[in-house]
Amino acid sequence: MSIPSRVRLIDVGPRDGLQNEKTPVPAAVKIELVHRLQQAGLKEIEVTSYVSSKWVPQMADNHEVMSGITRQSGVAYSVLTPNLKGFEAAVLDQPDEIVVFGSASEAFSQRNINCSIAESIERFAPVVEAALAAGIRVRGAMSCTVGCPYEGDIAPERVAYLAGLLQGIGVQRVDVADTIGVGTPRKVQKALEATLQHFGIDEVSGHFHDTYGQALSNTLAALELGVWNFQSSVAGLGGCPYAKGATGNVATEDVVYMLQGMGIDTGIDLDRLIDAGAYISDFLGRKPNSRVAVALLNQRKH
């Protein structure tokens, strides 16, 4: 299959990127980050999650953030809802899409959400049903599709199994996530091919972490299969609290720079995107975790 001529990026920075930050990030800063991302041309933004504030205190302001956003026409705002209680709170804030999550690793599922893969699907089924009944789209995040911190390599058959379960409860599209960043191009392609047994090419996205510096290589490997949806995080924010040593999501700035260099349309203004990453990085008191952003910001100074 030829490489796509356009790519759609979902920026997960406001949710996945910030959820494990120790420094409390005020709702006003999160709202401004979302505004800057949509001004840069992002058409899909993962904003927040409706989880227990006991477990994820950073997301306790979900209602304030969602209700404070000035929504832009043509932009989709998604939120994470792990159970019916979370969905019932989220639906009041009118998200365009909700996200449920499952793991291709049994051990990771037990450590992360204290249940088996099959049990997690049973838990998500009523959430998916309620969302679809309310006219809200549903995305499934599939974690540990290449490797697991507890099990090691994950067989593609396990990925296909999870994809089939999610498809079976009505999930409309899925993210194939290399949660701990151990993937290499061929392994990532196998995980994607396994997912494509149950979902069409338009319903599959790549979600890569850069722990071993492979995220851009894995993005290119996915493009070679025809995948044209990807998730990334502005300034490379984020990581996985259950995966020791896992660094952040691949930086949106780095992905956009690569895609633009390949002549692939993203609809994103790289300069404005870099400004958005610099904004949140300045608040957190550190440089963006993006080589492209750091290099271009340094050029501006000279």
What are the pLDDT digits (tens) for 213-233?
A: 999 999 999 999 999 999 999
C-alpha–C-alpha distance, residues 92 and 99, integer Å: 16
Contacts 24+ apart (CB under 8 A), 113-117: 113/82, 117/161, 117/162, 117/165
Catalytic annotation, pick one of 115, 144, 148, 240? 240
297 vs 114, higher pLDDT? 297
CB atoms within 10 A of CB 35: 17
C-alpha–C-alpha distance, residues 5 and 89, integer Å: 38
Q: Are 211 and 240 in contact (CB under 8 A)?
A: no
C-alpha–C-alpha distance, residues 38 and 32, integer Å: 10
In this prediction, residues 164-170 reach a mean pLDDT of 97
Query: Percentage of the chain with pLDDT > 90?
Result: 86
**Residue-level pLDDT at 240:** 53
Please say if the pLDDT value at position 239 is more than 80.
Answer: no
**Residue-level pLDDT at 1:** 62
Please say if the pLDDT value at position 246 is more than 80.
Answer: no
In this prediction, residues 239-245 reach a mean pLDDT of 53
CA 87 to chain centre: 18
E strand map for 129-210: 137-143, 147-148, 152-153, 173-178, 204-208
pLDDT band at 66 (very low <50, low <70, confident <90, very high): very high
C-alpha–C-alpha distance, residues 74 and 200, integer Å: 23
C-alpha–C-alpha distance, residues 252 and 56, integer Å: 24
**Residue 144 known to be catalytic:** no
Closest Cα to residue 266, out of 2, 10, 71?
10
Phi, then psi, of 209 in degrees rounded to 5? -105, 155
Please say if the pLDDT value at position 4 is more than 80.
Answer: yes
**Residue-level pLDDT at 225:** 98
Query: Percentage of the chain with pLDDT > 70?
Result: 97
**Residue-level pLDDT at 107:** 84
Please say if the pLDDT value at position 180 is more than 60.
Answer: yes
Please say if the pLDDT value at position 113 is more than 80.
Answer: no
Q: What is the pTM of this model?
A: 0.95
C-alpha–C-alpha distance, residues 144 and 142, integer Å: 7
Please say if the pLDDT value at position 57 is more than 80.
Answer: yes
pLDDT band at 284 (very low <50, low <70, confident <90, very high): very high
